[in-house]
Structure formats: C-alpha cells, structure tokens
Amino acid sequence: MNTLQKKLSVAGACVASMLSAQAFADYSVAIAGPMTGAYASAGEQIKRGAEMAVADINAKGGVNGQKLKLEIGDDACDPKQAVSVANAMVNKKIVFMHGHWCSSSTIPASDIYNEAQIPMATVSTNPQVTERGLKNIFRIMGRDDQQGGVAGAYVAKRFAGQKVAVLDDKSAYGKGLADETAKGMQAKGMKPALRESITAGEKDYSGIVSKMKAAGVQVLVYGGYHTEVALILRQAQQAGMKLMVMGGDTLSNNEIVTAAGGNADSVLFTFAPDSRANPAAADVVKRFRAAKVEPDGYVLYAYAAMQLFQQAATTAKSVKYNDLRKALAGGSFNTVVGKMSFDAKGDLKVPAFVVYQWKGNKYEAVK
Amino acid sequence: MGQFIQQLINGLTLGSVYGLIALGYTMVYGIIGMINFAHGDIYMVAAIISVTVITLLAALGISAVPLALMVTLLVVMAFTAVYGWSVERVAYRPLRTAPRLAPLISAIGMSIFLQNMVQLTQGARVKPIADMMPGQFNLFTFDGFTVFLSYTQLMIIVVTVVLLAIFTYIITRTSFGRQQRACEQDQTMTALLGVNVDRTISLTFMLGAALAAIAGVMVTIYYGVVDFAIGFVAGLKAFTAAVLGGIGSLPGAVLGGLIIGMLESFWSAYYSPEYKDVAGFALLILVLMFRPSGLLGRPEVEKV
C-alpha cells in the first residue's frame, strides 16, 4: 500500500467514524402518511402533531438523554410509494415509525419495517393490519370490524324502516369498513337496499346519486374518505335528496364542512372518543390552539404515538428492537388520547368508538 | 323512465365536460402531432384560478351572475393562456425537432410540475365556492322521481356546443386556421411560405389553454369544489375521449366525450359504478380495433 492510499484510507475511516457518530447521536423517529395527494390534509394533521410532540420531548431533555429527530415520509396513500418510503426510512436507521395512514399503504410498508425490526404505531383501521402475525406493529386506534359494528348497530337503530345504501371507494380501508358496517346492520336485522362501489378521485357522482334517488334511498353508509362523500352530498342536494351519511373515522376531517357545501350537518361518523376533552390533553390542546392548529382528527394521535415511543424507550432504557417491542407489548401508557395497552395482536385492549355528528364546523357526540 | 332521462342529462353534462377538455388535446395534436399531457393540469390550474376570481368578485360585491361569469371567464382565460404559452415555450419548443418520445416525457414532467406547484403554493386542501347559479328546471315527475336540469348543467351543454362551433369555424374558415392546418402538414414548407410557425403553434397552445380555462370555470361552478389533483383523472378521461372520437378532429373530441360521459352514467345506473371505467376503456379498445384512427379521425397519410 503506498502512502497516498494509506492517507486516503485513514481519512476515510475518520470521515466514516464522524458520520456514524453523528448518526447515532440522536434517535431518529419517523412519521409517514399522505403529505401530498388528495388526502394531504390528514398528512398535515399527523405532521403537526408529531412535530409538537418531538419538540416537547426534546425540550424536556429527550429520551434516555438522546434528542429525537423527526423524519417525514410521504406515501401519498399510494401503496407503491409507501414501500419506497419504508425502504428509505430503514436506510435512515429510524428506531420508531408512526404510520402509515391509509391501510393500503400501511399493510405493504409494515412488512418492510418488520424485516428491518422497526416497531411501528399506526392509526390504520383495516383488520388486516394486525391480522398478519407481525410482531412489530401496534395499532393505537380501533379496528374497522369494531368501528363497523358500532356504526352498523347505530344505523339499524336510528334509521329503522328507512332505505339504506352502502357505498365504498374500493380502497382497503373503505371497502373493509363498508363491509363491516353492512355486517353490523345485518346483525340487527337491517338489509342494505343498495350495495355499490365508486371510483375515488372523480368529481362526478351524479350517476350513483340518481340511482340512489330512484331507489328511494334516505341513508348512505359510506366507506371511504371525506373528499368523495362531500361531492356525493352536494350532488344529492342538487338532485333534491335529503341524504343522511354514516361514515368512519376519516370523516372527522373538518375539510368536509366546506367541501360538502352546507350539507355536512347530515354527516355522522364513528371515531375514537374526543380526546380534546381529556384532562391529560388540556395543556397540549391549549398550546396547539395558540399555534393556530385545531387539534382534531389525527393531530393528537400523532402526538400520542410519540409519547408512546418516549415512554416505552424510557422503560426499556434502550431503543433496540427487542427491548422496545417488549416494552410496547407489555406496558401501559398514559397519552394525550388516554390510557393505552395492547393485546397479543398489537390491537388496543380497550378500543372505543363513539358516533359523532357534524354541527356547523364542529362535531359532537350523538346518542 | 324518470331515472333514464335523468341519467341522460347527467351523462350529457359529464360528457360535455370531457368534450371541452378533449377539444384542447385535439387542437394541439392537430397541429404538432403531440399529446400534451400537461393539458389536464392546465385545466386544474384554471379551476384553481377561477376559485380565486369568483371569491374575489363575491368579496367586491359583484353578485350579478352574468357579469360575474363573464369577468371570471375572461380573467381565467387570460391567465391560463399565459400558462399554455409558457408550457409550450419551456417544455415543447426546445424539443420540437427531437424524437417523438422526448416531448411526451417533458409533457408528463410539466404535468407533475404544475400539480406540485399548485399543491405547494395553494395547499392540499379542497377549495370550495358557494353555489353560483343555484336553481333548476324540474322537467317532470314520473313514478315519484322528479327529473331536473340545473341551470349549470344547461350552461355546460350549451357552452360546449357553442365552443365547438366557434373553433370549427376558426380552423376551417379563417386564415389563422389555414396556417394551423399548413403547420400540421409541413412546418418547413409553411415557414418558407412566410407563415410564422412558432407564432402559430404558440397561439394554438394559448387557444387550447383557453379552452381548458372555460372547462375549469364550468367545472368549478358545477361541482363547487376544486383541488390540485383534479387534473389527472379529468385529463385521462378527456384524452380517452379525444382518441375515441379521432384525435385531431374537433367534433370527434366532443362526440368522444359525450359517448364516454353517457356510457359512464348509464353503466353506473343500470350495472355497477364499480365497472364503469372498465366499460369505457373496453369500448375504446373495440373502436380502435375497427377504426384505428377513432370515430371521426382521418387515417394519417404517410408523405413520401
């Protein structure tokens, strides 16, 4: 080896050691979701919540003496992009992932995190998320079969004797939820008058609206995201229909109020109990509002996911996969959205769903 | 019966929207033989601008619908034409002599650029406007089903027919139209005959963008919500309509749009909305098998 080569290799080793020293100085935690694309407003909620949580944790000295560094991945709710985001995150050596958001993104991405031994906490509600026996995944929200059961029973009771159509948007989340809600209705002896699927991302739903009108449908059970259901509501109003909608957690997005053009008050949806009223969340809620962010929808869930990591890593005194996973699986955590503990599949032990209705630009629980 | 007529009206309206956008595709294809994949996003930009203009007019207290509509159309067409011109100048003109694949790729790039630009500058949230032309004609009631035609639907259908007539006139009867057709046949020869080819192509892009602008305004008023992602699906459907009707032919674009709109509307009413796109594209394949240049298209003549 000549001197030049020696010098170079020494220099290289120095650089490498500096780089790795820097890379391990912080804990990299990550969020992933639709930061762009049609559902980007949900991604924004997740980002706001996680950023505030990381800032708060760092202000209190970080986790195990290490500061947290937040990585943000954008999957645009596209399963293919979700996989490449997951690979990029693995390369960035993250120790914890909050995401993804769309079930159809979470499912393929979770295989990659599982292989790379990265624990994750998600709000995706499709049952398949935790039904595949992956050990690294924890769901901090209920499942669609629970959500659909609550929604189905509610529809069967409140709208007894009326004609109900069940629609979905063909997504993993939407179709799963619509199927489960229909099952819940049937368990209470109510049969859907129509069962159809629509294509998400379009603007014109007048075809299906006229079909519902001809069938005399009064209630729509919708599995899917808020953008499409808002358009259906507008077009139904134009067609002279009075349509009530029952949907899932994604309809908690306040974008629906403006998008539905004054029809949002007829939207019901199931969501976890409103954590903004939690005493534990009071301080955080106040600071979100001071920063002009209304902590609705997924904001507090993103915050809670980071708290989950902080508490588990503190108990485990490590962020190694096995220690962290064991702490997450066995522990009980106090978060801004309430107490959390997980069953063997990684689902919440005590999930709860409440039926809400939009009133003006707020939603309220209904009996 | 009631539903049948209603679906016919729905299909005509949707088809007119597709046809309006398809007109822009077909005009550009007619002159430089290139698919302007950024056209759907130009339409999206127009729709976003129209939300701004309509909101601004409402804030200024201009509430007379015909006046507000005219002002909106003019302002949006002007702005969008500038977009059309810039896109051509930046993304297509430098590649005019390049192999055909190159401008296609730069068109897709332009489309992604426009979409992301709007998302970053305007935000990802949907932008709603209040119903500008509320009201409808209740045509008749059949078996308890009231068939309606809203003012907006009527306006969209009429505007499409009128624009088709105007643009057919421009291309077949004016000297500008002659220059366009000359450019289509042979750009070098046209230039030798003293026609400013660059100017003609630029103007065509601006006209195409103005058409997209009108479609954008109509859709904003009709559906009431707009976001940065609407260009993709609409562009794809309009492109299909243009190919179905015979790309390069103006009446073909509108005919293709109407066929796809009606097919979608009837298919979702009588079969299942799930498979309406399958039906649309299956029809496209069938037509192309028997008439490769589309319903009203002329087969390309190889010049020797």
Q: What is the pLDDT of residues B19-31, one digit of tens each?
A: 999 999 999 888 8
pLDDT band at A22, cuts 50/70/90?
Answer: very low
pLDDT band at A8, cuts 50/70/90?
Answer: low
Q: What pLDDT is attached to residue A6?
A: 60
Q: Is the pLDDT of residue B3 over 70?
A: yes
- Residue A346, domain member (yes or no): no
- We report the CATH number of the domain holding residue A180 as 3.40.50.2300
Q: Are residues A13 and A137 in the same domain?
A: yes
Give the one of B13, B124, B268 whose C-beta lies nearest to A211's C-beta. B268
Q: Is the pLDDT of residue B110 over 50?
A: yes
Q: Is the pLDDT of residue B303 over 60?
A: no
Question: Do A206 and B265 lie within an 8 Å CB cutoff?
Answer: yes
DSSP string, chain B: -HHHHHHHHHHHHHHHHHHHHHHHHHHHHHHH----TTHHHHHHHHHHHHHHHHHHHHHHT---HHHHHHHHHHHHHHHHHHHHHHHIIIIIGGGTTS-THHHHHHHHHHHHHHHHHHHHHH-SS-EE---SS--EEEEEEETTEEEEEEHHHHHHHHHHHHHHHHHHHHHHHSHHHHHHHHHHH-HHHHHHTT--HHHHHHHHHHHHHHHHHHHHHHHHHHH-EE-TTHHHHHHHHHHHHHHHH-TT-HHHHHHHHHHHHHHHHHHHHHS-GGGHHHHHHHHHHHHHHH-TT-SSPPPPPPP-
Cβ-based contacts of B14 with chain A (< 8 Å): 204, 206
CA-based nearest residue in chain A for residue B266: A207
**Domain end call among A228, A254, A271:** A271
What the block records as the tokens of B145 is 């089903």
Q: What pLDDT is attached to residue A11?
A: 56
Whether B116 contacts chain A with CB within 8 A: yes
CA-based nearest residue in chain B for residue A256: B126
Cβ-based contacts of A204 with chain B (< 8 Å): 10, 13-14, 17, 223, 264
Region A298-316: mean pLDDT is 94
Q: Of all residues in chain A, what percent carry a pLDDT higher than 70? A: 93
Give the one of B11, B131, B273 whose C-beta lies nearest to A208's C-beta. B273
Q: What pLDDT is attached to residue A325?
A: 94
Per the structure, the complete domain to which residue B209 belongs is given by 27-239
Q: Are residues A31 and A128 in the same domain?
A: yes
- Going from the C-alpha of B276 to that of each of A178, A331, B14, B262, the distances in angstroms are 20, 49, 13, 10
Q: What pLDDT is attached to residue A21?
A: 43
- Residue B256, domain member (yes or no): no
Q: What pLDDT is attached to residue A7?
A: 60
Question: Do B265 and A207 lie within an 8 Å CB cutoff?
Answer: yes
Q: Is the pLDDT of residue A316 over 80?
A: yes
Q: What pLDDT is attached to residue B301?
A: 62
Q: Are residues A159 and A307 in the same domain?
A: no
Region B85-94: mean pLDDT is 93
Q: What pLDDT is attached to residue B163?
A: 95
Q: Are residues A132 and A174 in the same domain?
A: no
Computed on alpha carbons and rounded to an integer, the radius of gyration of chain A in Å comes to 22
Q: Give the minimum alpha-carbon distance from B124 to chain A in angstroms, rounded to a whole number.
A: 6
Question: Do B14 and A258 lie within an 8 Å CB cutoff?
Answer: no
Whether A206 contacts chain B with CB within 8 A: yes
Q: Are residues A202 and A301 in the same domain?
A: no
Region B74-98: mean pLDDT is 93
Q: Are residues A303 and A259 in the same domain?
A: no
Give the one of A201, A202, A261 whose C-beta lies nearest to B128's C-beta. A261
Strands A354-359 and A362-365: antiparallel
Question: Do A213 and B6 lie within an 8 Å CB cutoff?
Answer: yes
Q: What pLDDT is attached to residue A136?
A: 94
Residues A146/A176, Cβ–Cβ less than 8 Å: no
Region B279-298: mean pLDDT is 89
Question: Do A211 and B3 lie within an 8 Å CB cutoff?
Answer: yes
pLDDT band at A9, cuts 50/70/90?
Answer: low
What the block records as the tokens of A26 is 């912080």
Q: Are residues A333 and A250 in the same domain?
A: no
Residues A346/A133, Cβ–Cβ less than 8 Å: no
Range of lowest pLDDT (A10-24, B27-41, B162-176, B267-281): A10-24
Q: Are residues A197 and A86 in the same domain?
A: no
- Residue A4, domain member (yes or no): no
Q: What pLDDT is attached to residue A3?
A: 60
Whether B55 contacts chain A with CB within 8 A: no
Higher per-residue pLDDT: B227 or A324: A324
- Residue B255, domain member (yes or no): no
Region B234-248: mean pLDDT is 91
Region A209-226: mean pLDDT is 93
Q: Are residues A113 and A259 in the same domain?
A: no
- Measured CA angle at B129 (ends B125, B132), to 5 deg: 160
- Residue A158, domain member (yes or no): yes
Q: Are residues A263 and A281 in the same domain?
A: no
What the block records as the tokens of A190 is 């109510």
* Residues facing A72 on adjacent strands: A31
Q: Is the pLDDT of residue B215 over 90?
A: yes
- Residue B51, domain member (yes or no): yes
Residue type present at position B260: I
Residues 14-53 on B with a CB inside 8 Å of A are 14, 17
Mean pLDDT of chain B: 90
pLDDT band at B132, cuts 50/70/90?
Answer: confident
Q: Is the pLDDT of residue B149 over 80?
A: yes
Choose, out of A202, A209, A217, A226, the residue to mutate when testing the contact with B (most B CBs < 10 Å).
Answer: A202
Q: Give the minimum alpha-carbon distance from A5 to chain B in angstroms, rounded to a whole number.
A: 44
Q: Are residues A52 and A112 in the same domain?
A: yes
- Residue B231, domain member (yes or no): yes
Q: Give the minimum alpha-carbon distance from B122 to chain A in angstroms, rounded to a whole number.
A: 12
SS3 A72: strand
Give the one of A198, A207, A216 whose C-beta lies nearest to B10's C-beta. A207
Q: Of all residues in chain B, what percent carry a pLDDT higher than 70? A: 98
Whether B264 contacts chain A with CB within 8 A: yes
Q: What pLDDT is attached to residue A333?
A: 93
SS3 A203: coil
Whether B224 contacts chain A with CB within 8 A: yes
Q: Is the pLDDT of residue A347 over 50?
A: yes
Q: Give the minimum alpha-carbon distance from B191 to chain A in angstroms, rounded to a whole number.
A: 43
Range of lowest pLDDT (A13-27, A101-115, B86-100): A13-27
Q: Which residues contact B70 (CB under 8 A, 6 or more apart)?
A: none
- Measured CA angle at A29 (ends A25, A30), to 5 deg: 140
Residues 235-254 on A with a CB inside 8 Å of B are 235, 238-240
Per the structure, the complete domain to which residue A220 belongs is given by 145-271
Buried b (16+ CB within 10 A) or exposed e, B160-169: beebbeebbe
Whether A38 contacts chain B with CB within 8 A: yes
SS3 A172: helix
pTM of the entire structure?
0.79
| Domains contained in chain A, number | 2
Q: Which residues contact B259 (CB under 8 A, 6 or more apart)?
A: B15, B241, B244, B245, B283
pLDDT band at A10, cuts 50/70/90?
Answer: low
CA-based nearest residue in chain A for residue B227: A38
Mean pLDDT of chain A: 89
Most confident segment among B116-125, B206-215, B266-275? B206-215
The H helix count followed by the E strand count for chain A is 13, 14
Choose, out of A78, A206, A208, A293, the residue to mutate when testing the contact with B (most B CBs < 10 Å).
Answer: A206
Q: What is the pLDDT of residues B160-173, one digit of tens each?
A: 999 999 999 999 99
- Residue A136, domain member (yes or no): yes
Euclidean distance between CA atoms A168 and B251, whole angstroms: 36
Q: Is the pLDDT of residue A14 over 80?
A: no
Q: Is the pLDDT of residue A201 over 90?
A: no
Q: What pLDDT is attached to residue B20?
A: 92
**Domain end call among A221, A238, A271:** A271
- Residues written for chain A: 367
- Residue B11, domain member (yes or no): no
Give the one of A203, A210, A216 whose C-beta lies nearest to B7's C-beta. A210
Q: Is the pLDDT of residue A278 over 90?
A: no
pLDDT band at B229, cuts 50/70/90?
Answer: confident
**Quick one: which H or E segment has residue B231?**
helix B230-245
Shortest CA distance to A69 belongs to which of A92, A88, A90, A91? A92
- Residue B289, domain member (yes or no): no
- Residue A336, domain member (yes or no): yes
pLDDT band at B1, cuts 50/70/90?
Answer: confident
- Residue B107, domain member (yes or no): yes
- Residue A319, domain member (yes or no): yes
pLDDT band at A119, cuts 50/70/90?
Answer: very high
| Domains contained in chain B, number | 1
Question: Do B10 and A36 lie within an 8 Å CB cutoff?
Answer: no
**Domain end call among A212, A239, A271:** A271
Alpha helical stretches, state H, B126-196: 151-173, 175-185, 187-192
Whether B117 contacts chain A with CB within 8 A: no
Q: Are residues A166 and A185 in the same domain?
A: yes
pLDDT band at A238, cuts 50/70/90?
Answer: confident
Strands of A137-139's sheet in order across: A68-74, A27-33, A96-98, A120-122, A137-139
